[in-house]
Amino acid sequence: MLKRLLALAVGLVLYGVSMSMILHAGLGNIPWDVLHQGLANQLGLSVGTVTIIVGAVVLVTWLPLRQRPGFGTVANVVVIGLAFDAATPYLPDHPKAAIAIPMMLAGIVVNAFATALYIGARLGPGPRDGLMTGIVARTGWSVRVVRTALEALVVVIGVLLGGDFGIGTVLYAVTVGPLIQWFAALMHVDRAVAGDTSVTGEIPQTGNDDSARDPHPPSVESVPTVERSSPCTPHSSN
């Protein structure tokens, strides 16, 4: 359990830092961060504070969806926003392209690594991921449709409120899923965890999985320390 808590803590902190890197690169935010930044602009609050508030509000929507939060869910709401604000003073704001592009790319990679870490801990999904999977469970719609609709909605609202949408938003959407899968495999995260719907946007197909026929499948405890969400074709903060 201690190893899982450590993986969760490191993953959430790195996730918040990666969000800050992508936002300050100024080339487009993670989809949910388009909303967070737009709200921050309108309310005069820090993006980290808004991230915490939005996470708490989204968590309330779990009630009618009958979703159950875990320790990691609550930690997700608090830690990511705090880590975002803690990293902000050390990052240049809207730097020149020579710095902005590498910072954005590094932010996406770090975000994927962080996601693999905290999902691998298996201590509860993020509030935004739980909202998505809850809607899927209640409606029967596909994960891909629900995730795309949610993230499109928050992006549109965020842009109307003044949040940044750009190439970084699109690049994140098309690369973060494969990167998370790669990091999960590199860390030897359990196949079922690596295929988590909140990460890949797909429901794991276990019917033809060799592990499903294994009478002695590996236990969760056998998963190495460095074992994850998202945002957001974004996730999310997540």
95-144 per-position pLDDT tens digit = 999 999 999 999 999 999 998 898 888 898 889 888 988 898 899 998 78
pLDDT for the residue numbered 168: 94
CA distance 167 to 63: 35
Angle between helix axes 2-25 and 31-43 (nearest 10 degrees) is: 70
Residues of the chain with pLDDT under 50: 191-236
- Kindly report the backbone phi and psi dihedral angles of residue 66, in degrees, each rounded to the nearest multiple of 5, phi listed first: 60, 40
Per cent of the chain over pLDDT 90 is 57
CA distance 11 to 187: 13
- pTM for the whole structure: 0.75
For residue 183 the two structure tokens come to 């990091």
pLDDT for the residue numbered 188: 74
pLDDT for the residue numbered 223: 44
Quickly list DSSP for 67-81.
----HHHHHHHHHHH
Residue among 197, 7, 231, 227 at smallest CA distance from 120: 227
Average model confidence (pLDDT) across the chain = 82
Residue among 56, 12, 60, 51 at smallest CA distance from 30: 51
pLDDT for the residue numbered 233: 43
pLDDT for the residue numbered 204: 40
Residue 46 φ/ψ region, left for φ over 0, alpha for ψ in the -120 to 50 degree band, beta for the rest: beta
Residue 190 corresponds to which amino acid?
D
CA distance 110 to 87: 14
pLDDT for the residue numbered 143: 79
CA distance 91 to 149: 32
pLDDT tens across 75-101, in order? Answer: 999 999 999 999 999 999 889 999 999
Quickly list DSSP for 38-68.
HHHHHHT--HHHHHHHHHHHHHHTHHHHT--
